[in-house]
């Protein structure tokens, strides 16, 4: 049986609720459990799964985004055992109820308790984030805003207010930062070193810093600024604060800016600011035309791998060795394509990292290939329905539509697994490209979470006489709790081709796509 | 205290966390001081009413 329990006006963060659902699912007699805030998107998913009596359950129909919904599927007795006291499942693990009661109820109270506080982390639902960020700036704190869905006008006023006080607002929509050795949000275990980062792209910063670490160097600070900071609406307020800070920082010798292409006016200001920096600057604008002005102190790249090489070189260190050249990739692609049936024509990418989705598109675009995406870069096509792939499609699974009221795909593989099963049912698919992001606050086993869906997808293809190929990259370091080597090995053992970086995996996929296109043109 | 961002890079930060509790846990596990705020949506979850209250108080 299926049953819904609605609890009005109860807020819990989506990561905590996922853990609650996992504990419930592990109970004998429970087949499946979800604990979600009743956002429209979550209600739609639950309705599709057969909950809420096809809209006839009045309590469920009336529930809104401040209400908690627990959805249980299983034996009646097992469901009843949970339903009799749902609150007992919602106590924060490791924190006694009495202790929770003594926690400050506001940022103001928190600062009163800890006057030495210097940074506020804000990850409440987007519609409430600006209010909390404003309170933090008023209390004299620097702010890291993980939340997305914050109004542009709020972002601008917050950033200006912070700048006037000598503070910074990192975000909104800031996934990652490294401040004086502390990793905020999604952060990898990277050693400290001479390279400082300013980034408007969270996974771009993670990929860059992990590759720098793997090359033997390290990061002084990584200052996230949020995905819209370099738009002309915001004008790079936080980026310029961060550049000033890194320029003044004794440990930083080289500065890398990792960003999606800025607004036109802001890009001109950024190039000008970087060019007159007293330190070497690597400007990596993902998928953009390289800035023409190649000044003495400014090095330009459009791919993360190249930015890593330039930063290492500027720090007087050797570039990354052992990358496959175009010839080797072409050969590997030819071997893969030889095993594909003629009707297999398309590549599908399901990305947890938005910037990695972005970079993959740029690598395809540079080869003259056009793809579809829910987050298309210039020149690519917008998917009519983000839930349905057509031809070659790359999906940013971290896009707002997929994360409203539920954890990011780096934490929760549910939606990406489900989507992969959909892709595998399409007989035109030849190759699937995936990314895995390790580090603090990500899933404890990102590869293990996806392996059942990968195996099912391979089997589904096999049943119709196809071989479905997989290519992947793993972003992370040997210091990450998940274990970089173990995660890579698990993929290789499952028959997934693994590359050291997203750019390499994307370049392999591009070669496959070019060969498939040539083969179709011949027929 | 003065938290000028430039100076902040040279010292160990202390955090206030509002929202996802695992962010608090991971910083604490890495040896940083973190204060968790026990947050709930203001004014029954209506941001507009919350903003009106902010102006009044």
**pLDDT of A96 over the 60 cut:** no
Measured distance CA(A219)–CA(A439) in Å, rounded: 15
Partner residue facing A114 (CB), from B23, B35, B54: B35
- Distance in Å, alpha carbon of A514 to nearest chain B alpha carbon: 43
Most confidently modeled range among A14-18, A299-303, A479-483: A479-483
Contacts of A18 in chain B (CB under 8 A): none
For residue B5, name the pLDDT band (cuts at 50, 70, 90).
Answer: confident
Q: What is the mean pLDDT of residues A422-426?
A: 96
- What percent of chain B lies above the pLDDT cut of 90? 49
Which residue range is the domain that position A399 belongs to?
A: 326-522
Higher pLDDT, A15 or A433: A433
Give the model's confidence band at B52: pLDDT under 50 very low, under 70 low, under 90 confident, else very high: low
Which residues in chain B have Cβ-Cβ distances shorter than 8 Å to A16? 20-22
Of the candidates A220, A209, A266, the one whose C-alpha atom is nearest the C-alpha of residue A247 is A220
Indicate the residue of B5, B35, B50 with minimum beta-carbon distance to A110: B35
To the nearest whole Å, the CA of A16 is away from the closest chain B CA by: 7
Say if residue A330 is preceded by a cis peptide, omega within 30 of 0.
no
Partner residue opposite A66 with nearest CB, options B23, B36, B41: B41
For residue A110, give the CATH number of its domain: 3.40.50.720
Assess whether A182 and A53 both reside in one domain.
Answer: no
Cβ <8 Å between A117 and B16: yes
> What are A35-82's pLDDT values in tens digits?
988 888 888 888 988 898 877 888 899 998 888 999 999 999 999 999
Mean pLDDT across chain A? 92
Q: Is A127's Cβ below 8 Å from some Cβ in B?
A: yes
Domain co-membership, A63 together with A30: yes
Closest to A282 measured CA to CA, from A349, A219, A351? A219
Indicate if A264 and A183 belong to the same structural domain: yes
Task: Count Cβ neighbours within 10 Å for each residue of A152-171 and write b for 16 or more, e otherwise.
Answer: eebbbebbeebbebbbbbbb
* Domain stops at, among A321, A338, A369: A321
Q: How far, in Å, CA of A134 to CA of A169, rounded?
A: 10
Give the neighbor-by-neighbor strand order of the sheet with A372-373. Answer: A381-382, A372-373, A393-396, A346-351, A429-437, A469-475, A497-499
* CA-based end-to-end distance of chain A: 52
- B56 vs A102 pLDDT, higher one: A102
Contact A120, A143 (CB under 8 A): yes
A459–chain B Cβ distance below 8 A for any pair:
no
What does each C-alpha distance from A217 to A198, A208, A502 come to in angstroms?
A: 17, 11, 20
Distance (Å) from the alpha carbon of A334 to chain B's nearest alpha carbon: 44
What mean pLDDT comes out for the span A489-517?
97
Average pLDDT over residues A139-154: 95
Which has the minimum average pLDDT: A176-180, A189-193, B50-54? Answer: B50-54
Distance CA A484, CA A473 (A): 11
The pLDDT value recorded for residue A53 is 82
The string of DSSP letters for A15-46 reads HHHHHHHHHHHTSTTEEEEEEEE--HHHHHHH
Q: Which of A107, A20, A17, A125 is nearest to A66 (CA)?
A: A125
A516 or A14: whose pLDDT is higher?
Answer: A516
| pLDDT at res. A462 | 96
d(CA A65, CA A43): 10
Q: Are residues A153 and A274 in the same domain?
A: no
**Range A417-424 average pLDDT:** 96
A366 and A493 fall within a common domain: yes
Q: Cβ of B2 and A140 within 8 Å?
A: yes
CA-CA distance, A404 to A259, in Å (whole number)?
A: 24
d(CA A130, CA A491): 40
Does position A167 have pLDDT exceeding 70, yes or no? Answer: yes
Sign of dihedral through CA atoms A267, A269, A275, A279?
A: negative
The tens digit of pLDDT for each residue in A2-45 reads 999 998 887 888 888 888 988 898 899 998 888 988 888 888 88
State whether residue A215 sits within 8 Å of chain B by CB: no
pLDDT band at A251 (very low <50, low <70, confident <90, very high): very high
Chain B: give the shortest CA distance to residue A197, in Å: 13
Question: Would you tell me which residues 270-329 of chain A have a C-beta closer than 8 angstroms to some C-beta of chain B?
Answer: none
- Interface size A-B, in CB pairs within 8 Å, comes to 168
Nearest-Cα distance to chain A for B56, in Å, is 14
Q: Do A188 and A256 fall into the same domain?
A: yes
Give the whole-angstrom CA distance, residue B1 versus residue A118.
8
Give contacts of B22 with chain A, Cβ < 8 Å: 15-16, 441
Pairing relation of β-strands A219-224 and A195-199? parallel
A227 and A279 in a common domain: yes
Instruction: Yes or no: say if A82 and A89 are a contact pair by the CB < 8 Å rule.
Output: yes
Residues in chain A, overall count = 523
Mean pLDDT on A362-391: 95
User: Is residue A299 scored above 60 in pLDDT?
Assistant: yes
Among the listed ranges A106-120, A357-371, A394-408, A428-442, which one has the minimum average pLDDT value? A394-408
Q: Which of A63, A109, A110, A255 to mutate to test the interface with B (most CBs of B within 10 A)?
A: A110
Q: Which residues contact B52 (CB under 8 A, 6 or more apart)?
A: none
SS3 A299: strand
Return the number of other C-beta atoms located less than 10 Å from residue A247's C-beta. 16
H helix count then E strand count, chain B: 3, 2
Q: Is A443 on the interface with B (CB under 8 A)?
A: no
| Residue recorded with tokens 């929760």 | A412
**d(Cα A26, Cα A112) in Å, to the nearest integer?**
41
- End-of-domain residue from the set A136, A155, A173: A173
Counted residue by residue, chain B has a size of: 57
Q: Which residues of chain A does B35 touch, with a Cβ-Cβ cutoff of 8 Å?
A: 103-104, 110, 113-114, 117
**Which residues in chain A (368-407) have CB-CB distances under 8 A to chain B?**
none
On whether the pTM is more than 0.80, the answer is: yes
Identify the pLDDT of residue A293: 47
Task: State the residue for tokens 């190929």.
Answer: A469
pLDDT for residue A92 is more than 80 = no
ipTM of the prediction: 0.88
Q: Which pLDDT score, from 0 to 100, does residue B44 have? A: 61
Residues A109, A86 share a domain: no
Q: A 146-175 residues with CB below 8 A of B?
A: 146-147, 166-168
Averaged pLDDT for residues A434-448: 97
Which residues are CB-contacts of A240 (< 8 A; sequence separation ≥ 6)? A269, A273
Residues whose CB falls within 8 Å of the CB of residue A213, separated by 6 or more in sequence, listed in order: A188, A189, A190, A191, A219, A477, A479
pLDDT band at residue A316 under the 50/70/90 scheme: very high
Alpha-carbon span A311 to A246, nearest angstrom: 15
Please tell me whether residue A56 adopts helix, strand or coil conformation.
coil
Kind of pairing, strands A346-351 and A429-437?
Answer: parallel
Whether residues A141 and B3 touch (CB distance < 8 A) is answered with yes
Of A92, A116, A244, the CB nearest to B14: A116
End-to-end CA distance of chain B: 24
Least confident among A44-58, A88-102, A434-448: A88-102
A62 and A208 in a single domain? The answer is no
Q: Are residues A311 and A348 in the same domain?
A: no
Out of A302, A321, A340, a domain closes at: A321
For chain B, list residues whose CB is within 8 angstroms of any CB belonging to chain A: 1-6, 8-27, 30, 32-33, 35-42, 44-45, 47, 50-51, 54
Output the domain CATH number for residue A494: 3.40.50.261
Q: Among B1, B2, B5, B52, pick the best mutation site for testing chain A contact (most A Cβ within 10 A).
A: B5
Which residue carries 């400007």 as its tokens? A283
Chain A positions touching B42 (Cβ under 8 A) are 128, 131
Locate tokens 């007992």: which residue? A88
Contact at CB, A125 and B41, closer than 8 angstroms: yes
| B43: alpha, beta or left? (left if phi > 0; alpha if psi -120 to 50) | left
Nearest to A260 by CA among A274, A275, A270: A270
Q: Are residues A363 and A343 in the same domain?
A: yes
The structural domain count of chain A equals: 4
Residues of B in contact with A100 (CB under 8 A): 38
- d(CA A259, CA A212) in angstroms, rounded, equals 17
- Return d(Cα A384, Cα A315) in angstroms, integer: 45
Taking alpha carbons only, the member of A460, A467, A464, A521 closest to residue A335 is A467
* CA nearest to B31 within chain A: A182
Q: Are residues A243 and A118 in the same domain?
A: no
Per CB-CB distance under 8 Å, the chain B contacts of A142 are: 3, 5, 8
Task: Check residue A262 and report its DSSP letter.
Answer: P
Distance CA A232, CA A264 (A): 7
Q: Which of A128, A168, A181 sits opposite B41 (nearest CB)?
A: A128
Q: Is the pLDDT of residue A425 over 80?
A: yes
């Amino acid at each position: 049986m299926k049953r819904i329990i609605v609890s009005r006006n109860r807020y819990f963060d989506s990561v905590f609720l996922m853990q609650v659902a996992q504990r419930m699912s592990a109970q004998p007699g429970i087949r499946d459990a979800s604990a979600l805030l009743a956002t429209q998107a979550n209600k739609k998913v639950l309705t599709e799964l057969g909950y809420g009596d096809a809209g006839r359950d009045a309590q469920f129909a009336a529930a809104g985004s401040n209400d908690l919904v627990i959805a249980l599927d299983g034996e009646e007795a097992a469901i009843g055992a949970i339903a009799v006291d749902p609150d007992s499942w919602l106590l924060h693990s490791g924190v006694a109820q009495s202790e929770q009661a003594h926690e400050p109820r506001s940022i103001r109270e928190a600062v009163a308790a800890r006057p030495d506080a210097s940074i506020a982390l804000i990850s409440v639902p987007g519609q409430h984030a600006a209010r909390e960020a404003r309170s933090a700036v008023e209390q004299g704190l620097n702010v890291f805003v993980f939340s997305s869905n914050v109004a542009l006008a709020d972002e601008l006023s917050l950033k200006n207010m912070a700048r006037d006080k000598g503070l910074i607002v990192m975000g909104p929509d800031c996934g990652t930062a490294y401040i004086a050795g502390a990793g905020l949000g999604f952060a990898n275990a990277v050693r400290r070193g001479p390279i400082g980062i300013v980034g408007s792209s969270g996974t771009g910063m993670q990929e860059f810093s992990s590759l720098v670490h793997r090359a033997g160097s390290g990061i002084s600070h990584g200052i996230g600024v949020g995905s819209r900071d370099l738009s002309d609406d915001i004008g790079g307020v936080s980026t310029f604060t961060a550049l000033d800070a890194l320029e003044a920082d004794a440990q930083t010798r080289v500065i890398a800016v990792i960003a999606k292409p800025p607004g036109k006016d802001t890009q001109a200001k950024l190039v000008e600011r970087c060019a007159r920096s007293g330190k070497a600057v690597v400007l990596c604008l993902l998928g953009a035309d390289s800035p023409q002005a190649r000044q003495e102190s400014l090095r330009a790249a459009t791919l993360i791998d190249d930015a890593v090489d330039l930063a290492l070189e500027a720090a007087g260190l050797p570039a990354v060795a052992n990358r496959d050249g175009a010839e080797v990739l072409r050969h590997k692609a030819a071997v893969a394509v030889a095993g594909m049936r003629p009707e297999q024509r398309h590549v599908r990418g399901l990305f947890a990292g938005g910037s990695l989705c972005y970079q993959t598109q740029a690598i395809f675009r540079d080869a003259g290939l056009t793809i579809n995406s829910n987050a298309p870069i210039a020149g690519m096509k917008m998917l009519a329905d983000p839930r349905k792939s057509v031809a070659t499609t790359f999906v940013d699974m971290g896009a707002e539509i997929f994360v409203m009221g539920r954890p990011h795909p780096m934490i929760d593989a549910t939606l990406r697994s489900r989507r992969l099963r959909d892709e595998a049912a399409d007989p035109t698919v030849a190759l699937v490209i995936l990314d895995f992001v390790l580090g603090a606050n990500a899933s404890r086993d990102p590869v293990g979470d996806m392996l059942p869906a990968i195996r099912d997808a391979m089997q589904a293809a096999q049943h119709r006489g196809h071989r479905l190929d997989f290519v992947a990259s793993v972003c992370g370091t040997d210091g990450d709790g998940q274990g970089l080597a173990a995660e890579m090995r698990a993929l290789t053992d499952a028959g997934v081709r693994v590359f050291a970086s997203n750019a390499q995996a994307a370049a392999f996929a591009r070669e496959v796509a070019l060969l498939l296109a040539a083969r179709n043109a011949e027929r | 205290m003065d938290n000028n961002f430039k100076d902040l890079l040279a010292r160990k930060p202390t955090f206030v966390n509002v929202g996802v509790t695992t962010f608090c846990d991971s910083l604490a596990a890495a040896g940083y001081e973190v204060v968790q705020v026990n947050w709930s949506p203001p004014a029954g979850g209506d941001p507009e009413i919350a903003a009106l209250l902010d102006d009044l108080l």
